[in-house]
Structure 1
Amino acid sequence: MTLHADLHRHLGGSVVPRILWRYFQRHNPEMAGRFPEYLEFESFYTRPRNTLDEYLELHTLVESVQTPHTLPYFIYRLLRGAYIFENLAYLEIRYTPYLRTDARLDRSARIEQMYEVIRIVGEASREADYPIVTGQILCMHSRLPFEVNKAIADAAADLPEYVCGIDMAGGDSHYADRLDEIVGLYQYARSRGLKTTGHVYETADGCYPELLPYLMRIGHGIQIPLREPERLRELAAAGQCLEVCPTTYLKTGTLENIYELKVVFDRCFEAGVDTAICTDNAGLHNVRLPFEYENLLTCDAIDFRQLQACQEAAFRHAFAWPHVRPPSTLLERALQNGDPQQEPLLATY
């Protein structure tokens, strides 16, 4: 049995269509009336969009119902599905906590409420009765003001028992006018000891080399091997990892065919750059992590040797995985020796 790690999954896009539709049927008369039948909701929710911005608008649909009161409901179902259907041993959940606060409050009150949201997500993750190691990545947002984004970084640093890293989300085409500010936010995050990833080089409009020095992992990053492969040696030397989310690029119109990712994987492997295969928004796609693997293999975008290397890289670059090695090694020791504790528990890298 292979156990997996997903390093890039958004809380807003993690709710599978059936769960979200049932929630609307029970608690949201407006959405229930708009989609009385499940199949029409699934078609609306999972269909491809023309652009990344259009695709990201769907997050607002889920953010509006992921309140402090309902978050345990969604977290429980997320982890249940991840354990039962995806064999996940490790999951990093990323989201913008400010967008789960009460919009009726003023800014300072919403910033204060972010801490409650983070604790709720953290405690719900621990109480889900499924043996998955989880960590939160808090997303700063390209459309939020500097004050809020800095507060998100502060919250991440203030709550290390729940948060394992920081991100910048909101569509990478919107970074250009605020690039100096975003660089400053990442410098501040690093100064507070935070681990970092960021949505860059996802689309042709999101190529910002100025951000790369501040990132430990690169959210998507596929435009580097596609458009600027000369940078790959620098990424390898820095030990950076690309978080590749295959289905996303079809849903956003970034790529026309998954086979186009073969160039990404081949060039990364040739240059020694680690890649982790992730789901990004498993609910919006209705595609779970094992099917991402299968789709890549079926389309000949990757081979089994490369797939295994990506699976191992995911654990190696996980921000909160507490062990030196992936779970397959621990399981093998347990089966052969009956003593999994012979494996050192705490990671040293």
Structure 2
Amino acid sequence: MTLYAELHRHLGGSVVPRILWRYFQRQNPEQAGRFPEYPGFEEFYTRPRNTLDEYLELHTLVESVQTEETLPYFIYRLIRGAHIFENLAYLELRYTPYLRTSERLSQSERIDQMTQIVEIVGKASQVAEYPMVTSQILCMHSRLPYEVNKAIVDLAAQSQEYVCGVDLAGGDAHYAERLDEFIGLYQYARSLGLKTTGHLYETPDGCYPELLPYLMRIGHGIQIPLKHPELLSQLQQQGQCLEVCPTTYLKTGTLQDIRQLKVVFDRCFEAGVDIAIGTDNAGLHNVRLQFEYENLLTQDVINFKQLQACQDAAFRHAFAWPHTQDPTSLLTGLLKTEPKKTLAGKSQ
């Protein structure tokens, strides 16, 4: 059995449609009234959007119900599905903890409550019956004030039992007017020894070379091989990895056809730049990681050798994978048996 690593999955977009709909039916009369039948909800929840900003608005639907009381409910079902249906051995969940705190509190009180949110997510992710290595990436957000984003970085540094890195999310078109601020926050994160990734070069509006030196991995980054291939040698020298999430670009209107990603993979492989394939928002897309693999293969975007290289890269660039080998190699060693010996000492 092959086991996989998922490096780019958002907590807000990870809830599969039927589980979210059932939750609304039982606990949220307002949303239940909007979607009395499941097919209508699934169509609304998973249909493509015209822009990344429009797509990201869907996160608010889930964030509003992912509270300290309900997070264990959603995370248990997420872990169960990832283990049983996706064969995940490693999962990084990313989210903005501030957006799971109570809106009834003041900003300073919400900042304090973030610690509790991280602990709840960390403990809920450790499900004995579905063993896998899990960790959190805390997302700064382009629409949150500096004080909150700095507190998120501080919390990541103080919570390394549960947290493996920091990210910047919220739509890459919104970074420009605060670019110096985000550079400073990444410098601060690196000074604290934190590992870093960031949503960058996802869309043509999100190309900020000034941020690249501070990232160990690049969330999406597809516009680099598509529009700025001159940067690939820099990425290779710095050992950076792209987190490519194929279905996302169709859902956000960034690409019109998944076969447009062939240029991304071809140029990255030619330049020696690693790619890890992710789902991004498995629930919003109603897909699992293996579907992303299969779709890339059947559309001739990559071949099996390249797929294996991407799967290996995911473990190699995982921020919290505790082993030097991928799980398949570890299992092979555990399950390998020596040839039986005969009484004469010869192998049978």
TM superposition score category, shorter chain reference: over 0.9
* 2:175 aligned partner: 175
For the residues of structure 2 that align with 1:117 and 1:159, how far apart are their CA atoms?
A: 11
Q: Give 1:59-78 correspondences, 5 Å limit.
A: 59-78=59-78
Q: Give 1:1-349 correspondences, 5 Å limit.
A: 1-127=1-127, 129-337=129-337
* 2:343 aligned partner: none
* 2:258 partner amino acid: I
For the residues of structure 1 that align with 2:330 and 2:19, how far apart are their CA atoms?
A: 33
User: Residue 157 and residue 337 in structure 1: after superposition, are their counterparts in 2 closer, same or farther (change >3 A)?
Assistant: farther
CA shift at 1:243, angstroms? 0.1
CA shift at 1:126, angstroms? 1.2
* 1:67 partner amino acid: T
For the residues of structure 2 that align with 1:18 and 1:58, how far apart are their CA atoms?
A: 15
CA shift at 1:106, angstroms? 0.3
For the residues of structure 2 that align with 1:128 and 1:266, how far apart are their CA atoms?
A: 40
For the residues of structure 1 that align with 2:318 and 2:129, how far apart are their CA atoms?
A: 22
Q: Could you list the runs of 5+ residues in structure 1 that have no partner in the other structure?
A: 339-349
CA shift at 1:335, angstroms? 1.3
SS in 2 for 1:312: helix
User: Residue 128 and residue 114 in structure 1: after superposition, are their counterparts in 2 closer, same or farther (change >3 A)?
Assistant: farther
CA contact (8 A) 1:140 1:167 kept: yes
For the residues of structure 1 that align with 2:126 and 2:252, how far apart are their CA atoms?
A: 33
The count of residues paired between Structure 1 and Structure 2 equals 338
For the residues of structure 2 that align with 1:229 and 1:325, how far apart are their CA atoms?
A: 31
SS in 1 for 2:294: helix
User: Residue 22 and residue 52 in structure 1: after superposition, are their counterparts in 2 closer, same or farther (change >3 A)?
Assistant: same
Matched-pair identity in %: 78
Q: Could you list the runs of 5+ residues in structure 2 that have no partner in the other structure?
A: 339-348
For the residues of structure 2 that align with 1:197 and 1:97, how far apart are their CA atoms?
A: 16
CA shift at 1:272, angstroms? 0.3
* 1:98-127 alpha-carbon deviations (Å, 9 max, x no partner): 000001100110000000000000001113
User: Residue 128 and residue 32 in structure 1: after superposition, are their counterparts in 2 closer, same or farther (change >3 A)?
Assistant: farther
For the residues of structure 2 that align with 1:225 and 1:5, how far apart are their CA atoms?
A: 23
CA contact (8 A) 2:79 2:127 kept: no
* 1:201 partner amino acid: Y
For the residues of structure 2 that align with 1:7 and 1:309, how far apart are their CA atoms?
A: 15
Larger Rg: 2
CA contact (8 A) 1:90 1:133 kept: yes
CA contact (8 A) 1:76 1:128 kept: no
Q: Provide the alpha-carbon RMSD of the alignment.
A: 0.7
CA contact (8 A) 1:66 1:100 kept: yes
CA shift at 1:128, angstroms? 5.4
* 1:171 partner amino acid: G
* 2:342 aligned partner: none
For the residues of structure 2 that align with 1:197 and 1:294, how far apart are their CA atoms?
A: 26
CA contact (8 A) 1:80 1:128 kept: no
